[in-house]
Amino acid sequence: MTGGLYFAGTVYWTSGVMARFGGIAFPLAVAIAGLLVAYLALFPALFAVVLRKLVVGGGLPWVWLSPAVWVASEYGRLAIFGGFPWVLLGYSQVPVLPVAQMASLTGVFGISALLTASATAVAWLALSRSPRRWVAPAVVAAVVVAIAIWGSQRVGRGVLTSGGTPVRVGIVQGNVEQDVKWDPDRAHDIFSRHMRLTERMADEGARLVLWPESSTPFYFGHGAESEVLRMLARRRDIELLIGSDLYEPGTPPRTYNAAFLIKADGTTGGIYRKVHLVPFGEYVPFGGLLFFAKPLVEAVSDFAPGTEVNTLAARAGTLSTAICYEVVYPALIREGVDNGSTLLTTITNDAWFGRSSAPWQHFQMSAMRAVEQGRYLVRAANTGISGMVDPYGRVGLASDLFVEGAWAVDVRLLSERTFYGRTGDWVVWASLMLTGLTLGLTSAKARRREVRKDT
C-alpha cells in the first residue's frame, strides 16, 4: 500500500503521456500506468518482507539493517528489466545542499541510506524498551549533523568553482509543442527558431551552443538544412551540440536517438547514440506480451540502442551528454567521466510531461549527477526546464516551462574526480552483500531451530 501511494503520487503523469501522445484510450492508459505503479510498489514491499524476516530471525536490533535492505531494493528498481530508477529516496535532498554533498562520496544511494537510518532511529525509539535505546539514535543524529557541517564547509570553500577552464555555453529552448514537432508544414519555422536563438547566443559570446533532444525536424546529415547548420558553425566560429535522429541504412536499417557535435569548421566532431532507451517511450519491453502499448512507440520512433557511452571532443575540452531519461542512471554519467568528460551535458524533450511535476523531478535528478561527479551540468530542454547546475548542486539557471528562450551560462571544465566518481556505487555493493549475508544467517538459524524441534 505504501509503495502504491508513493508511486501513484510521483509517476501519475505516465497515464496522460500514453493517452495524449500514444493514441491509447484513457482507461487503458490508466490501466497501464497502474501496472507500472504496481510493479514499482513491489520493491518497497520486498524491503518490508526482507526486513521482517531479518527482525523475526535476529531480534529487534536487526532493524538497523534497514538502510542496507532499502538500498538493495532501490538498486533492484534500477537494475531489473532495464530499470526505472525514478524519484529514488535520496533525490529528496537535492535542495538541501549541505546533505546533498554526501553524494560526492556515496552517490544518491548513500543519501537514501542516510534517510532510511534516520527513519529507523525514530522507529527504534518507538519500539525498543532498552534503557539505552537513545544511544543509537543519538549516533545517527550526530552523523547527520556532521555531514551537514562538512557539506556546508564544502560548498562554502567552493574549490571546484574556481578551478578548471572557463567557457561560455549557450542553451537553446525552442519550445516546440509535441503535437506539431514533426509536422512538415512547421518544419521551416521550427528550424528557423533554433537558428535565430543560436545567433543570439553567439552574439552573447557562447563558444558552445546546446540544442535539445530531437530538436531538428529532419535527420541530421540528410538534406540542405544540415549544410545550413554547418555554415552557421563556420560563420560564427562556434560549436553546436544538437539532438537529432540518426538513420543508418543496413539490414535491418536502424534509427538512433542521437546527439551530434558540430565543430567550428563545420565538420561532425562526434556522435553519441543513446544507450538507455525509455521503456514504453522508445521501445516496448516484452513487446509480444504488451502488444497493446505498441502505438505509443509508433507515435515516436522505435529506436535502436547505442552500444557505448562515448565522449565528444569539443574545442574547449572533452564533454559527455545524456539524452533525456539517461541522466537518471548514475553509472552512465560516471562512465562518461571515466572516459575523460570535463563537462556534463544533458539534452531532453520534456514536452511529453506537460505541466505535471515530472519536468521538476527530471531536473532535480539531473542536478544530483553534478554533485556526484563534481562537474558543471548544462541542460537544454525543448519546453524546459533548461538550466545549469554547478558541481555543488547550486542551480545557476532554471528556465520556465513552455517559453521560448536562449541563455548563456559560464561554466568551468573540470578534471578532478570526486570519491564517488573514482569508486562508484560502493554503498550499493556493500548493501547487497550485507543483505544477502544476513538473510543467509537468518535462514540458517531458522533451519537449526527446526532441526532442534524435530529432535
Q: How is residue 192 annotated by DSSP?
A: H
Least Cα distance to 90 among 383, 393, 345, 368 occurs for 368
| Mean pLDDT across the chain | 92
pLDDT bucket at 296, cuts 50 / 70 / 90: low
Active site residue 274: yes
Query: Are the CB atoms for 411 and 378 separated by under 8 Å?
Result: yes
Give dist(CA 170, CA 51) in Å, integer. 49
Q: State the fold for domain 165-418.
A: Nitrilase/N-carbamoyl-D-aminoacid amidohydrolase (3.60.110)
Question: What percentage of the chain has pLDDT greater than the value 70?
Answer: 93
- The pLDDT tens digits for 328-377 are 999 999 999 999 999 999 999 999 898 999 999 999 999 999 999 999 99
pLDDT in tens, 218-233: 999 888 899 999 999 9
CB distance 365 to 11 below 8 Å:
no
Q: Answer yes or no: 53 catalytic.
A: no
What whole-number distance in Å separates Cα of residue 428 and Cα of residue 69?
A: 10
Cβ proximity of 169 and 198 under 8 Å: no
Query: For the chain, give me the number of helices (H) and strands (E)?
Result: 15, 12
* pLDDT tens by residue, 302-327: 788 999 999 999 998 999 999 999 99
For the segment 146-154, the average pLDDT, to the nearest whole number, is 98
pLDDT classification of 448: cutoffs 50, 70, 90: confident
State yes or no: pLDDT of 282 exceeds 80: no
Where do the structural domains in the chain lie, given as residue ranges?
Answer: 2-157+425-454, 165-418
Beta partners for 395?
389
Q: Is 323:348 a contact under the CB 8 Å cutoff?
A: yes
In the residue annotation, 213 being an active-site residue is answered as yes
C-alpha cell of 449? 531451530
Query: Tens digits of per-residue pLDDT, 237-280?
Result: 999 999 999 988 888 888 999 999 999 999 999 999 999 887 65
Among 74, 181, 213, 372, the active-site one is 213
Backbone angles phi, psi at 28, to 5 degrees: -70, -40
**pLDDT value of residue 120:** 98
Q: What residues form DSSP beta bridges with 380?
A: 347
Angle formed by the axes of helices 426-454 and 26-58, to 10°? Answer: 60
Averaged over 103-117, what is the pLDDT? 98
The active-site residue out of 181, 239, 274, 372 is 274
Q: How distant, in Å, are the alpha carbons of 105, 232, 252, 352, 374 from that of 281?
A: 33, 32, 21, 10, 30
Pick the more confident residue, 17 or 92: 92
Average pLDDT over residues 152-166: 96
pLDDT score recorded for residue 301: 58
Question: Which of 263, 324, 326, 335 does the annotation list as catalytic?
Answer: 324
Q: What is the pLDDT of residue 449?
A: 72
Q: How far apart are CA 363 and CA 381, in angstroms?
A: 10
C-beta of residue 371 within 8 angstroms of C-beta of residue 107: no
